[in-house]
């Protein structure tokens, strides 16, 4: 009988512990009790509070590149751009100047196939900056017949409904 009563009290204590709310603990304070080996240089305070219209605009940039509609692509961009390309290409300046480079690059391709795996909307609480991260696979077929494929991870920064900052990371694939 003592074992049954002890078991009942033990089970009750476990049940109460699982259902109790510690009013002194918040999700941020419980996370801060863990000592991480690095401190973020920018911020870790993000929400997903980026508009669906900004998400649509960013995803359309990929579609415009895929279909070769560079005029529509240009319409999604601000007057100036910062680009950190996966191939080492870096650019900071007027978007019209950038477009001349991208037009040459896109013109060398006979086809582009993009398969988006996932996107993530990120709003930085620190400075109210909006980002859309996109992970995708791209298969490029050059006019020479060469085929190149890679997985990409891109960061697209948005301001006033236009994207103006783009950073890309590439993992080459074998076909």
Tens of pLDDT, residue by residue, the chain (175 residues): 444 333 434 334 333 444 444 333 333 444 578 999 999 999 999 999 999 999 999 999 999 999 999 999 999 999 999 999 999 999 999 999 999 999 999 999 999 999 999 999 999 999 999 999 999 999 999 999 999 999 999 999 999 999 999 999 999 998 6
Residue 168 pairs in a beta bridge with 154
CB 122 within 8 A of CB 46: yes
Q: What pLDDT does 174 receive?
A: 80
Domain boundaries, the chain: 46-173
Provide the sign of the torsion angle of the four alpha carbons 66, 70, 76, 77, taken in this order: positive
Distance from the first to the final alpha carbon of the chain: 69
Six-digit token string for 65: 């590149």
CATH C-level class of 46-173: alpha beta
State the pTM of this model: 0.79
What is the rounded distance in angstroms from the CA atom of residue 38 to the CA atom of residue 87? 28
What is the rounded distance in angstroms from the CA atom of residue 76 to the CA atom of residue 49? 20
CB 123 within 8 A of CB 47: yes
What is the rounded distance in angstroms from the CA atom of residue 37 to the CA atom of residue 34? 10
Q: What is the pLDDT of residues 104-119, one digit of tens each?
A: 999 999 999 999 999 9
Q: Decide the pairing of beta strands 46-47 and 109-124.
A: antiparallel
Q: What is the pLDDT of residues 123-133, one digit of tens each?
A: 999 999 999 99
What is the rounded distance in angstroms from the CA atom of residue 96 to the CA atom of residue 108? 19
Six-digit token string for 111: 């086809």
Q: What pLDDT does 31 receive?
A: 58
Six-digit token string for 141: 């077929």
């Amino acid at each position: 009988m003592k074992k049954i009563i002890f078991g009942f009290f033990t089970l009750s204590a476990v049940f109460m512990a699982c259902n109790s709310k510690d009013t002194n603990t918040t999700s941020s304070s419980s996370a801060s009790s863990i000592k991480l080996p690095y401190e973020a240089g920018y911020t870790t305070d993000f929400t997903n509070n980026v508009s669906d219209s900004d998400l649509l605009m960013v995803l359309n940039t990929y579609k415009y590149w895929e279909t070769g509609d560079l005029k529509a692509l240009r319409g999604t961009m601000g007057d100036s751009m910062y680009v950190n390309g996966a191939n080492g290409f870096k650019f900071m300046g007027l978007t019209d100047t950038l477009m001349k480079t991208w037009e040459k690059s896109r013109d060398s391709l006979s086809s582009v196939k993009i398969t988006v795996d996932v996107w993530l909307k990120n709003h930085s609480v620190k400075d109210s900056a909006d980002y859309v991260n996109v992970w995708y696979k791209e298969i490029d077929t050059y006019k020479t017949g060469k085929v190149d494929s890679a997985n990409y991870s891109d960061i697209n920064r948005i301001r006033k409904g236009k994207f103006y900052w783009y950073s890309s990371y590439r993992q080459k694939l074998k076909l």
